[in-house]
Structure 1
Amino acid sequence: MENLSPLPFVLLIFLLLNVTASVAAPTAESVYTSFLRCLTNNTKSQDHVSDIVFAQTNSTFSSVLQAYIRNARFNTTSTPKPLLIVTPFEESDVQGAVICAKSIGIQLKIRSGGHDFEGISYVSDQPFIIIDMFQFRNITVDVQNEVAVVQAGATLGEVYYRIWEKSKVHGFPAGVCPTVGVGGHLSGGGYGNMLRKHGLSVDNIVDAKIVDVKGRILDKKGMGEDLFWAIRGGGGASFGVILSFTVKLVQVPKVVTVYRVVKSLDKNENTTEFVLQWQQVAPHTDDRLFMRLLLQPVSSKVVKGQKTIRATVIALFLGGADEVVTLMGKEFPTLGLNKENCTEMSWIDSVLWWANFDNTTKPDALLDRNVNSASFLKRKSDYVQKPISKEGLEGIWKKMVEVGKTGFVFNPYGGKMSEVSSDATPFPHRAGNLFKIQYSVNWEEPGIELENNFTRQARMLYSYMTPFVSRNPRSAFLNYRDLDIGTNSFGNNSYEEGAVYGVKYFNDNFDRLVKIKTAVDPENFFRNEQSIPTHTGLNTTGASKSGASELSHFSLYWKLMVKVGGLLLLELFI
């Protein structure tokens, strides 16, 4: 190899230093100043702009950020923080926030309730701002027409309470946790203990309002059938900012019945036979009955120092106790249900019961948002299409005890779920699925070693379950967000990477979602770690084609310079 002069190398380093200096990331203060100026010019209520934009230097920034962090894993000093938090009061505030975030080329994260299991709505590895919809909580109930207009920042508890205020014989099929936000829950599918009778939340949405990438407010007519289809199960955050949904109320009886039955493997209570029979009954019984099955590894009360498996059925029946006791006596004898196990109550009281409130709790407890409350958790999901055999269950019991703390939640399908076609909404998991599995582990203490241990437990159990669950693809539920199943790399808009997780969440509906995304947001402004990609790949940082800001390109430029520099250096020494 011939001798090389050091001059080209020095010039290359000088070039890299100058380029990277020219695209240095702006300060949080400069972003705040630019954004505030822009928002003042792009909202109808300029007088309150400074009250809804929180910079990192604001004394209340941390409390606003932490209020709706529902997974403590993402509430640490090392967790990346937004440069700004915007808490809109009015629709024009949301429009302005979209326009301004796009104009300065910064990623926009959208948060309604903060229950996304991987913190996607409030964490990013690139500069970002949060638009937090918690002040968008108006709910208008029209009992006569059996509809309600619900803003995206309302919680499910607030929805249930406002319906109950107007009618004692109406409800809405959605989740059992009252602090979940409407925007993410409904746009991702939304399910609860009435899904076998009334389907998913998305099956009961009749209209919506969204702010699109151009800052326009669109309703169902304005957005068109394709986009309206996409935001009912495809995740609203890939397509815009959901402002509200108009939902169809469902009728509920004046009296419903709840019950809880517990079996333990170490007490010779035929627990394995109990779970076998649950699989045969729960997805096929009267569609007014929803029986959730919890499976947990617990300390044995029979043999000290050993673990056993506890199986718990938690049920809602849309009818009286006598009827469900008779039904279970015929269909599910190992349940051993009698009237003493059952409690009759109003539908709103069943909402409180399912949320683990005390029996004396009044419905207005559902209005408590319970902010700044979070445990450490990891969740994963699967779908089961064939009953698990006795031998299979016995192997699972051993694995659960071996793994440690991770448990299962089995949610039965059937009923209405089997009647709706798999492409009626982006949510595809309909006929053919017996039940959905949630893998669930919680812990109370912080620390990376504990987090690694418990998340590893969940992954080990998930791996063990491979032979028992759906395949080609191994399906997953979008609202049980799980980054383990694939992500789209930073700054990327890869269809190939998006398909890895997208096909698991949406099966055959994924490609239609990609086509809609490409049509309505071709520059991929609305993006996150598991968003719907576009096919264009054009200007994927989300900034406008003309005058894209240095902020959004900083990390990409740096990676490009490093790559180019590396190639040049390699060429110099060959």
Structure 2
Amino acid sequence: MKSPGHRINRRVLLSGTAGVGGAAVLAGAAPAAAHVDPATGPTIGPADPRYALLTTGNNQRFVARPEYIRMIHSTEDAVSALRAAATAGKRVSVRSGGHCFTDLACNPDVQVILDFSDLNSVDYDPELGAFAIQPGARLINIYEKLYKGWGVALPAGVCYSVGAGGHVAGGGYGLLSRQHRLVVDHLYAVEVVTVDAGGRVRIVRATREITDPNRELWWAHTGGGGGNFGLVTKYWFRSPDATGSSPAAQLMSPPSEVLLNAVAIRWADLDQAKFSRLMKNYGAWHEANSSPDSPYHYLSSIVNVGVRAAGGIGVLTQVDATVPNADQLLKDYVAALNDGVGVQLYPQPAMPQFATARRLPWMRATRLIGTSNVTVNDPTLRAAHKSALIRRNFTDQQVAALYTRLTDPAYTNPRAMVFLFSYGGRINDVSPDATASAQRSSAFKMLFQNLWDDPGQDAVNLAWLRGLYADFFAATGGAPELDGQADGCYINYADADMADPAFNTSGVPWQTLYYKGNYARLQRAKQKWDPSNFFRHSLSIRPA
């Protein structure tokens, strides 16, 4: 194998004008399909029937009206597309899977969308000794290719259609993270197309090698968020503890089998006291088992706390079934949640066959979990999201706020919910500054989510979610505090309200809520790699 350090530190400098091809692109004219180079993606303008599909992502609240969308098919294609846009002074946004929660990719200011969804290969790179994944690869395809090809995996997200591009840059978290850390803890290298202060476009590769002069660009992509520093055209993954030269030894291996359990608690069986006890049980268990050496770091759970109109609360739990006491770990966890609550546990409507825990091959369970939630996977809905990372158990005030809002008889949208995700475990076995993902002492993660389909219901549904979040964090100015009971927000659940003093009255800047003490270092990386702030959006890193 060739030395990764030798191969990766080279820079390719590409500069020049848009040329004749660029002039056609800037006019928004789509080239004739029969003559398009397969390495060059089509340019899609307003007259193209594909335009409407590509001006929005999964959240239908946010729609762009760009002059054109450029589909990117190769690194060289990204270079030429970026050079054309930069030369013409066009405002650019970047998209891979389209799952951005807010308007970072699709908003009225965007003049050009660079879409990487077709740049989606997953392969092993023997020269770098790492797995190369392009930004448009969807998580389910990444899992399938890595596992079937080499028996390895990444501890990435549950939603099957999320693209690697933004997911990785924001940290990357999933049901295997308590056991195998975040996705970025396995990131070895990144290839980025950047624009310097003089408008020159170049390809830069950066690794985690201490001797790499571009290392800070690698570090910025370990949780610094998407759309900040340039166009990511490839990620390479190798686990830090990898040994030897076999591809199967270069990345973490998932459990061959998992124990899966899905149960539901009916709202009809809960009064305020029982609901409070259930929430406090959840918080206490996760606080007690958030350390890397907890025997429960093999277990991860998702609790969907729906509004009363939804009928119930769902508890999905996955345990590494190769652990000798997997069944007992699961029984202990479910018993701890129901301790003092004493309600009957029912089958979940979407997964009734798992009311009694069953063993499944990991890949089969991953497919099932990723595709079973019809509401979350519906790409036609409008949505709003907010997040928090929680270090210690819920306060009484927080539980009361949840109960009041979730059981409000005047609010009847059944697709409003609060997700609770197990966090901690080996995620917390990494220094806050080792990667840009700074929250390394949390016990669980919260996603406040609301989904609806009628634009006429925007105001009422946004008001409900904002009211819930404001009430939940009333003691800390409408935002999760840092290094206390809470620990800020998760950038992959981006929420522009955190940059608005009308909603975030905490006095803590949104940059600090998402990045904590790492923000200044991210700014220095931005200053070096994107000094003109060419890549920008409502929650982008500002140059130092």
TM range (shorter): 0.7 to 0.9
How far has the Cα of 1:462 moved from its partner? 0.4
Cα separation, partners in 2 of 1:333 and 1:532, compared to 1, 3 Å: same
Q: Deviation string for 1:298-322 (max 9, x for gaps)?
A: 23xxxxxxx87x3322111111598
2:278 maps to 1:274: yes
Cα separation, partners in 2 of 1:57 and 1:412, compared to 1, 3 Å: same
Q: Structure 1 counterpart of 2:120, which letter?
A: R
User: Equivalent residue for 1:14?
Assistant: none
How far has the Cα of 1:189 moved from its partner? 1.1
Is the contact made by 2:29 and 2:43 (CA closer than 8 Å) also made in structure 1?
Answer: no
Q: Structure 2 counterpart of 1:348, which letter?
A: M
2:526 maps to 1:517: yes
Match of 1:424 among 431, 434, 453: 434
Cα separation, partners in 2 of 1:327 and 1:430, compared to 1, 3 Å: same
Q: Deviation string for 1:493-548 (max 9, x for gaps)?
A: xxxxx98321111011111111111122111111111111113xxxxxxxxxxxxx
2:202 maps to 1:189: no
Is the contact made by 1:282 and 1:290 (CA closer than 8 Å) also made in structure 2?
Answer: no
Q: Give me the whole-angstrom Cα distance separating, in 1, the residues matched to 2:420 and 2:133.
A: 29
User: Equivalent residue for 2:232?
Assistant: 242
Structure 2 residue runs without a partner (length 5+): 1-20, 239-250, 339-344, 347-353, 502-506
2:87 maps to 1:103: yes
Q: Deviation string for 1:73-123 (max 9, x for gaps)?
A: 12xxxx440101111222111011111211111111111011001132122
How high is the TM-score relative to the length of structure 2?
0.77
Cα separation, partners in 2 of 1:348 and 1:373, compared to 1, 3 Å: same
Q: Would you say how many aligned residue pairs link Structure 1 and Structure 2?
A: 462
Q: Give me the whole-angstrom Cα distance separating, in 2, the residues matched to 1:231 and 1:150.
A: 14
Match of 2:421 among 411, 416, 434: 411
Q: Give me the whole-angstrom Cα distance separating, in 2, the residues matched to 1:271 and 1:146.
A: 50
How far has the Cα of 1:35 moved from its partner? 2.7
Match of 1:295 among 302, 305, 314: 305
User: Equivalent residue for 1:134?
Assistant: 117
How far has the Cα of 1:401 moved from its partner? 1.8
User: Equivalent residue for 1:253?
Assistant: 255
Cα separation, partners in 2 of 1:524 and 1:328, compared to 1, 3 Å: same
User: Equivalent residue for 1:216?
Assistant: 202
How far has the Cα of 1:261 moved from its partner? 2.3
Q: Give me the whole-angstrom Cα distance separating, in 2, the residues matched to 1:38 and 1:99.
A: 17
User: Aligned ranges for residues 357-376 of structure 1 at < 5 Å?
Assistant: 357=372, 373-376=379-382
User: Equivalent residue for 1:16?
Assistant: none
Q: Deviation string for 1:274-327 (max 9, x for gaps)?
A: 33222222350511100122211123xxxxxxx87x332211111159833322
2:539 maps to 1:526: no
Match of 2:162 among 153, 167, 180: 180
User: Equivalent residue for 2:183?
Assistant: 201
Q: Percent identical across equivalent pairs?
A: 23
Match of 1:163 among 146, 151, 159: 146
Is the contact made by 1:88 and 1:135 (CA closer than 8 Å) also made in structure 2?
Answer: yes
Q: Give me the whole-angstrom Cα distance separating, in 2, the residues matched to 1:39 and 1:191.
A: 38
Cα separation, partners in 2 of 1:51 and 1:386, compared to 1, 3 Å: closer
Q: Give me the whole-angstrom Cα distance separating, in 1, the residues matched to 2:495 and 2:38.
A: 37
Q: Structure 1 counterpart of 2:167, which letter?
A: H
Is the contact made by 1:38 and 1:100 (CA closer than 8 Å) also made in structure 2?
Answer: no
2:87 maps to 1:87: no
User: Equivalent residue for 2:463?
Assistant: 456
* Bigger Rg, which one: 1
Is the contact made by 1:85 and 1:132 (CA closer than 8 Å) also made in structure 2?
Answer: yes
How far has the Cα of 1:251 moved from its partner? 1.1
Cα separation, partners in 2 of 1:340 and 1:207, compared to 1, 3 Å: same
Q: Give me the whole-angstrom Cα distance separating, in 2, the residues matched to 1:50 and 1:251.
A: 35
User: Aligned ranges for residues 49-68 of structure 1 at < 5 Å?
Assistant: 52-65=42-55
SS in 1 for 2:531: coil
Q: Give me the whole-angstrom Cα distance separating, in 1, the residues matched to 2:41 and 2:76.
A: 15
User: Equivalent residue for 1:350?
Assistant: 365
Q: Structure 1 counterpart of 2:231, which letter?
A: V
RMSD: 3.4
Q: Give me the whole-angstrom Cα distance separating, in 2, the residues matched to 1:119 and 1:518.
A: 23
Q: Structure 1 counterpart of 2:176, which letter?
A: M
Cα separation, partners in 2 of 1:398 and 1:61, compared to 1, 3 Å: closer
Q: Give me the whole-angstrom Cα distance separating, in 2, the residues matched to 1:329 and 1:80.
A: 48
Cα separation, partners in 2 of 1:145 and 1:107, compared to 1, 3 Å: closer
Q: Give me the whole-angstrom Cα distance separating, in 2, the residues matched to 1:245 and 1:471.
A: 33
Q: Give me the whole-angstrom Cα distance separating, in 1, the residues matched to 2:356 and 2:27.
A: 58
User: Equivalent residue for 1:564?
Assistant: none
Cα separation, partners in 2 of 1:159 and 1:487, compared to 1, 3 Å: farther
Match of 1:444 among 453, 457, 460: 453
Q: Deviation string for 1:213-246 (max 9, x for gaps)?
A: 1322221257711111001210241100000111
Q: Give me the whole-angstrom Cα distance separating, in 2, the residues matched to 1:64 and 1:33.
A: 20
Q: Structure 1 counterpart of 2:254, which letter?
A: V
Q: Structure 2 counterpart of 1:85, which letter?
A: I
Cα separation, partners in 2 of 1:145 and 1:271, compared to 1, 3 Å: farther
Q: Give me the whole-angstrom Cα distance separating, in 2, the residues matched to 1:112 and 1:50.
A: 16
Is the contact made by 1:141 and 1:166 (CA closer than 8 Å) also made in structure 2?
Answer: no
Is the contact made by 1:114 and 1:180 (CA closer than 8 Å) also made in structure 2?
Answer: yes
The structure carrying a bigger helix percent of its residues is 1
Q: Give me the whole-angstrom Cα distance separating, in 2, the residues matched to 1:421 and 1:225.
A: 17
How far has the Cα of 1:425 moved from its partner? 1.2
Cα separation, partners in 2 of 1:518 and 1:119, compared to 1, 3 Å: same
